[in-house]
Amino acid sequence: MDPSVINQAKTLAEQLIRQAGAIALERFDDIAELTDKDEHGDVVTEVDHMAEAVILAGIQAVFPDHAIHSEEAGSLGGESDWLWLVDPLDGTNNFAIGLPVFTTSITLMYKREPVLGVIYEPITDRLFVSAAGEGAFVNEKPMHLKPAARLAKANIGWIQGHAVRNDPRAVRLRHLLDVSFKRMMRLWAPTLQWCMLAKGDIDGIVLYNSEGDDLYSGILMVKEAGGVVVDFEGRPITGMQKEPYLIACHPDNQEELLRTVRAGLTSEDGIAQRTDD
């Protein structure tokens, strides 16, 4: 892996993501086109396409030999060890109803591992950047996860795929998280939740079968900020996942959060209680 490629990609991604964010900010609360994307309630706006076009054109101009997968355009380019993942508007459902909770996400993968993650929140002008082995930063300030002294008072983010809907196991697990912690958050803007965890603003994330172009920038962000990302069996997450089920948190809180998740998955009535040590 050539470090110069990552350095060049980082500069490019920061430029492109700010351009895309400017489009979203200009059109926020004033969209002209809203279309149902699938039967699960996902939607797409003209802003998704406009922001995506800017990002894709920029990547293809500088890295014509790299593969790209983008939320709306799908797969572009040929086979390559380098793969760009683009979500031009993460939180489109929020954007569509005038809720200012959305981001843009750009990830660079090398041999199916994330090596660069760039996430931009235009409403707050916060730029989150992480590169493998270099740490995670928000507006050039380093980010670090914070351990929760008591998870019962913790804020836990919940992320689920659009197709999950009311899967009984997911419903049971959501309910247990809701009654076990101070707050169970569902932002419908996954990359922002990953950044909040990396920044130390929330205490953990539970993700239920939500794979997509917005996933790996967040995973890298949390890992580079000192967090752990493991599956529901406690195994470290590596590579790309077809159907990910995972938790992310500070290493000190891993075992307790895993116990809670397992209780939620095995409980028949969905109200199994957490046990504190």
- Return the percentage of the chain with pLDDT > 90, whole number: 82
pLDDT at 271 over 90: no
> What residues contact 28, with CB distance under 8 A and at least 6 apart?
95, 98, 100, 122, 123
Mean predicted confidence (pLDDT) in 176-205? 96
- Return the percentage of the chain with pLDDT > 70, whole number: 94
* Amino acid 32: pLDDT: 76
202 SS3 class:
coil
> What residues contact 7, with CB distance under 8 A and at least 6 apart?
none
Q: Which of 53, 85, 61 is nearest to 8 (CA)?
A: 61
Locate CATH 3.40.190.80 in the chain: 151-266
Written as six digits, the tokens of 197 are 């965890």
Mean predicted confidence (pLDDT) in 31-53? 83
Q: Decide yes or no: CATH 3.20.20.140 for domain 3-142.
A: no
- HEC-encoded secondary structure of 234-249: CCECCCCCCCCEEEEE
* Amino acid 267: pLDDT: 66
Helix 215-224 × helix 190-199 angle, to 10°: 0
Exposed/middle/buried for 19, CB within 10 Å: 0-12, 13-18, 19+?
Answer: middle
Q: Decide yes or no: CATH 3.40.50.11240 for domain 151-266.
A: no
pLDDT at 174 over 60: yes
* Amino acid 139: pLDDT: 98
Mean predicted confidence (pLDDT) in 210-228? 96
Locate CATH 3.30.540.10 in the chain: 3-142
pLDDT at 274 over 60: no
